[in-house]
Amino acid sequence: MTKHELEYQEHLLPLTREELVARLREALSPKRFAHVCRVEQTAIQLAEQNGVDVEKASIAGLCHDYAKQRPDQDFIDVIHAKQMDPDLLNYGNAIWHGVVGAEMIKDELGVGDEDILNAIRQHTVGSNYMTKLAQIVYMADYIEPGRDFPGVEAARQITAQDLGAGVAYQTQHTLEYLIHKGQPVYPQTLVTYNAWVPKYQKENH
């Protein structure tokens, strides 16, 4: 894959791409930093294929896990300070780093674009309505070249053909995994399942 190193032109945040990359390098372990860089590259590629703003894909891809390594208390403080849904307190980092992390990305990195922030909010749980950008970040996180799990090749192929079918594939497999492990399902994950999975079943069979 050719490396895409953009010069940001759209003033979607008060940082250059280089400065943003430096902030992520600071906030994340080397392993997770490498992951967000791969997600950025995959998101850019999917954006080009699907006629989506490449700069937004770059920013959302880089920032999506910005908050992932923050202590629980940081998230709890933001949930209270911003009077977010108290049900969030029943979950943990896996849900918080997207839904609550978007607030930190807005406040600390200066990303004000709601399209980007929503893509980050939805990157682990999805939504019944997801913009193309949100679908791209959701899928890039799942299929970036460092991912290696049974089914990832199928996910890559399906996503290359049809972004929405990729969303359905991931959602179905994530839910299967959570249920198999007896883990709690965040309600929005079920909303995403109902909105995406039966629709693509119908189209494919």
Which residues are near Fe ion by CB under 5 A?
65, 141
Q: How far is the CB of 97 from Fe ion (least distance, A)?
A: 6
Closer to Fe ion by CB, 40 or 65: give it.
Answer: 65
Q: How far is the CB of 123 from Fe ion (least distance, A)?
A: 6
Give the separation between CA 165 and CA 100, rounded to whole angstroms. Answer: 27
Closer to Fe ion by CB, 40 or 141: give it.
Answer: 141
Closer to Fe ion by CB, 189 or 200: give it.
Answer: 189
Q: Per this entry, what is the length of the chain?
A: 205
Burial of 164: CB neighbours in 10 Å, binned 0-12, 13-18, 19+: middle
Query: Do residues 81 and 93 make contact, with C-beta atoms less than 8 angstroms apart?
Result: no
Q: How far is the CB of 125 from Fe ion (least distance, A)?
A: 10
Helix (H) or strand (E) segment spanning residue 205:
none
Buried-exposed string 140-161: b where 16+ CB fall within 10 A, e elsewhere: bbbbbeebeeeeeeebbebbee
Closer to Fe ion by CB, 102 or 168: give it.
Answer: 102
Q: How far is the CB of 204 from Fe ion (least distance, A)?
A: 27
Give the separation between CA 162 and CA 34, rounded to whole angstroms. Answer: 26
Q: How far is the CB of 140 from Fe ion (least distance, A)?
A: 9
Sequence-ordered list of residues with C-beta below 8 angstroms from that of 68, at least 6 positions apart, any chain: 28, 32, 93, 97, 101
Closer to Fe ion by CB, 59 or 200: give it.
Answer: 59
